[in-house]
Amino acid sequence: MRTRKLGSQGLQVPGIGLGCMGMTIQYGELDDVESVATIHHAIDIGLNLLNTSDAYGKGKNETLICSAIKDRRSEVILNTKFGQMTNSDGTGGVDGRPVYVKSACEASLKRLGTDYIDVFSQHRVDTDVPIEETVGAMARLIEEGKVRYIGLSEAAPETIRRAHLESPISCVETEYSLWSREVEAEILPTCRELGISLMPYAPLGRGFLTGTIKSIDDLIEGDRRSDHPRFTAENIAENNAKVAVIEEIAKAGGFKPAQVAIAWVLAQDSMIVPIPGTKHRKYINENARALDIVFRDDQLKALSNAFPVGDTAGERYPAGQMKKLGL
């Protein structure tokens, strides 16, 4: 497994990680047995960076990972997140208070069945708490040996700078793919300047860039993507025209569209570590093969031209969730 640096503090990770969210949040059918087998297979081939959050399934995702790695903790690089809350009435909030940082870490350690977390990240920025206070509390967890490295998720460039001054940030997790390229304007350049890795989630556009979602009927009942603007019938039809370019390049090279989409993200910077999500063993091998793709300049240009920045039909999240991004 080819590796990359995650940040500038010395952590080496596989070139791609495994996003585990879909193992407990409905993107297609859920299957705990296959999910655990998928984690085992990922570890077996060296794809051992596991990305999760205490918000995924209200802790269920971390508990599932615990069951999968209980005898293999030393083989795994764990990245979990904190701070995104779901209230009893279904509304959401964010908590970045130092006292909560500590309690959230303790709860995640217990659910994960470990005494340390490799990378502990703030899931969303709390605008009511100075980022220095939140990151300061995260840094104290490093001093206590409960956390090795720290990260942010969906933070604005100025927030990233302030956080990094308080304590070195290893990674910034954000959505980045051919159909979500807004980070190229400021966030990616900021990370390059500061020696911070970008950790793109949804590099496959929540499955859309695989070419397997041609209509709203391809999503099962209850699939969360049905609530996302990009997955309305009208926007699916418009966005599918772009996917044809991915499919053509994939076919010419003997690859799958998913591999081409991941490889495009990898090609944008050597410190980018995408975390495509899957809960099926067969896709682990397919995703890993993206590391072998070397594009010609004309292919990179064709892909970029097919997906201009800001040209994707529909916002990437429902309106309420969009308000929590880039803070």
Q: Residue 198: which region, alpha, beta or left (left: phi > 0; alpha: psi -120 to 50)?
A: beta
Active site residue 149: no
Exposure string over 88-107, b if 16+ CB within 10 A, otherwise e? eeeeeebbbbeebbbebbee
**Could you say which of 56, 100, 176, 201 is catalytic?**
56
Contact 8, 43 (CB under 8 A): no
CB neighbours of 201 closer than 8 A, spacing ≥ 6? 19, 21, 51, 173, 174, 175, 176, 274, 275, 277
Q: Which residues are 199's β-sheet partners?
A: 173
CA distance 312 to 237: 11
Catalytic positions are: 56
